[in-house]
Amino acid sequence: MDSKEKVLDKYSSKVYKNRKEHVITIEEGEPNVIQADTRAIPGIMTNRGCCYAGCKGVVLSPLKDVAIITHGPIGCGFYTWGTRRHKAKGDENTQSFGEYCFSTDMQETDIVFGGEKKLKKAIKEVFEIFKPNCIMICSTCPVGLIGDDIHAVAAEAEELYGIKILAFSCEGYKGVSQSGGHHIANNGLMRSVIGTGDAEPMKYSVNLLGEYNIGGDGWETERILKRIGYNVVSVMTGDGSYAELKNAHTADLNLVQCHRSINYIAEMMKTKYGIDWIKVNFIGLDGIKKSLRDMALFFNDPDLIARTEAVIADEEEEIAEGMAHYKTRLEGKTAAIYVGGSRTHHYINLLKTLGVEVVLAGYEFGHRDDYEGRDVLPSIKRDADSKNVESITVEKDPENFKSILTPERLEELKNAGVHLEEYNGLWSDINDNTVVTDDYNHFETEEFLKLLKPDIFFSGIKDKFLIQKSGVPSRQLHSYDYAGPYAGFRGALNFAKDITMAVYTPAWNLVEAPWKNTPTLEGSLGGTE
């Protein structure tokens, strides 16, 4: 029995039947198929969160100049206040709401008589105290059940105060994970924000999509892009803003870092404005270099291409010695990596560069295309649990639509290995025999730890201390354990340094008390000497 079977075998037949589709071993030459984006099994201790977390916590919160009101009891707002490390910086022209948590703090009477009145009042109070340019409202579980019409309230308030006010129906029970929330947020931003600005188009302009600036990742990425000569029109949404997002349609190329959370907008912008997107990866040296070279080929400007190579050479030079040093300390180690919907893939190459092999991988809420590549999209059926998450369609915008590439150029790019509107998924970079676990849970985490004994385990806060207590170094790849950035060349070096620290911290050698492995009584009473 392989380790996967050993773990699954402990389940009851009903759970086994469900989980065996989600836990697979990658086999050479096979079309590896996984089940994903289905409901979590009650009681199994899934690591997943909810739709509200995906919408408000992930996609919307990083927009710094937006005052987001959580419409619900206090918890949801409280837990998403300052806990995801999407860094942002305001200036004299840009309000920054990152340090604030706004909630309608619903009480029993609001549940009984409806919360619309309180929501209207809360909007008024936010408007009067802060005078923001944009307010967003995010609903929580009870809102949908009691029938508060937050969209009507938003429309009325928009009229009243003359600022943008958007509502998002991201009740926690919608869909099966955070993923539904991403989609809902994408729909709202596409429908009401993107394309409403009137900025002049710029040369070499790009949007950075699905980059949330955790620990400064987005800033590090932007630093490199600017060095080469790109203009970043907007970032969705790390250190992003409502003001920037309005003009996103003026860019020439969309760069998709997190495919899962933002591919909807990438697709819709292609349809509506003709803007191409490429899947980039600014984590790990190979990923960064490929991304930068793809971009240069897309714009096809000899100067840009030359600057790209110069910057790559310079940045690589800066970290080369450090990377080589850490590689000597990490070579031959094995790793497990369980993250949300994209980092699992992104970090595999960086780990490879450091000589670390991934033996166990998984997503909380990736879809099959994140594992298997977008080619499988036509064969994915949406099941009943996700039908309540709206899919919207957009039309070609007659005024702003542009075709940047000729069919010939498109063909050339394809031949050069630049794949527009494509993503090959986790499979494209994963080793044979790796165990892959979708919607990973506590039990499987514990069991695979024992069976596969990785030298380091990357996941989140809920697992961190159980892994560490098991004797295995654990680094969080959501919060980066309060460090970072990990993106870009300098980020790669930070990462290498941090995981070396996790593996070699002296306390690991002191865990066992000396009296546990040395006899306390020294032989006089007729021992077995």
Query: Among residues 40, 50, 51, 248, which one is catalytic?
Result: 50
Among the residue ranges 21-29, 67-75, 149-157, 307-315, the one whose residues contact other proteins (CB under 8 A)? 67-75
Contact 323, 493 (CB under 8 A): yes
Would you say 231 or 476 has its CB closer to other proteins?
A: 476
Does 322 help bind other proteins (rule: CB under 8 A)? no
Would you say 47 or 500 has its CB closer to other proteins?
A: 47
Does 87 help bind other proteins (rule: CB under 8 A)? no
Strand locations in 22-71, DSSP E?
23-25, 66-71
Query: Among residues 36, 40, 53, 154, which one is catalytic?
Result: 53
Do you find a cis peptide bond into 237, omega within 30 degrees of 0? yes
Does 247 help bind other proteins (rule: CB under 8 A)? no
What is the residue whose two structure tokens read 């092999």? 357
Q: How far apart are alpha carbons 496 and 505 in whole angstroms?
A: 14
- Residues of this chain, 35-64, that bind other proteins according to CB under 8 A: 39-53
Contact 119, 71 (CB under 8 A): yes
Phi, psi of 236 (to 5 degrees): -110, 105
Does 78 help bind other proteins (rule: CB under 8 A)? yes
Helix (H) or strand (E) holding 277: strand 276-279
Q: How far apart are alpha carbons 438 and 363 in whole angstroms?
A: 5
Does 17 help bind other proteins (rule: CB under 8 A)? no
| Interface mask toward other proteins for 152-191; x: CB under 8 A | -------------------xxxx-x---------------
Does 148 help bind other proteins (rule: CB under 8 A)? no
Measured N-to-C along each axis, helices 302-330 and 285-299 cross at an angle, to the nearest 10 degrees, of: 170
139, burial (CB in 10 Å: exposed 0-12, middle 13-18, buried 19+):
buried
Would you say 366 or 425 has its CB closer to other proteins?
A: 366
Would you say 20 or 442 has its CB closer to other proteins?
A: 442
Query: Among residues 182, 367, 374, 490, which one is catalytic?
Result: 182
Q: How far apart are alpha carbons 39 and 370 in whole angstroms?
A: 17
**Number of residues forming the site for other proteins (CB under 8 A):** 88
Does 145 help bind other proteins (rule: CB under 8 A)? yes
185, burial (CB in 10 Å: exposed 0-12, middle 13-18, buried 19+):
buried
If one counts every other C-beta atom within 10 angstroms of the C-beta of residue 313, the result is: 10
182 is catalytic: yes
- Residues of this chain, 104-133, that bind other proteins according to CB under 8 A: 104-108, 110-111, 118-122, 124-126, 128-130
Contact 54, 181 (CB under 8 A): yes
Residue selected from 9, 17, 30, 75 as contacting other proteins according to rule CB under 8 A: 75
CB of 163 to other proteins, least distance (A): 15
Does 72 help bind other proteins (rule: CB under 8 A)? yes
Residue selected from 66, 88, 97, 220 as contacting other proteins according to rule CB under 8 A: 97
Would you say 53 or 323 has its CB closer to other proteins?
A: 53
Q: Which residues make Cβ contacts (< 8 Å) with residue 210, sequence separation at least 6?
A: 236, 256, 257, 258, 259, 260, 261, 262, 263, 342
Residue selected from 144, 197, 201, 322 as contacting other proteins according to rule CB under 8 A: 144
50 is catalytic: yes
138 is catalytic: no
- Residues of this chain, 370-389, that bind other proteins according to CB under 8 A: 384-385, 388
**Residues facing residue 297 across a β-bridge:** none
Would you say 11 or 204 has its CB closer to other proteins?
A: 11
* Enzyme catalytic residues: 50, 53, 84, 182
